[in-house]
Amino acid sequence: MARPPKRKTEDATFRCLDEDFLYPGKMEYVAKDAGEEEGHRVIEWVPGLTKANCPHDPTHHIELVEE
């Protein structure tokens, strides 16, 4: 049986697209095997689940702001 992938959660900044303002939240990243480089396994962290909702209305559309 395979192990579930490694996960980490980091602080992030999000933008509410409906009201156009920034706010803090949490973003979950999942470890992805990116192959082998110089004899070592390389892990790439890819975005997984968003741990944030718009504080004004949870049905608003949001996006992660790249820092």
Domain ranges of the chain: 7-65
Predicted confidence at residue 43, as pLDDT, reads 85
d(CA 47, CA 14): 13
Cα(12)–Cα(64) distance, integer angstroms: 7
Q: What percentage of the chain has pLDDT greater than the value 90?
A: 36
Distance from first CA to last CA of the chain, Å, rounded? 37
Q: Which two tokens stand for residue 26?
A: 């949490």
Give pLDDT tens digits for 34-55: 888 787 888 888 888 777 889 9
What is the rounded CA–CA span in Å between residue 21 and residue 13? 10
Rounded distance, CA 34 to CA 8, Å? Answer: 17
- Whether the full predicted model's pTM is greater than 0.75, yes or no, is no
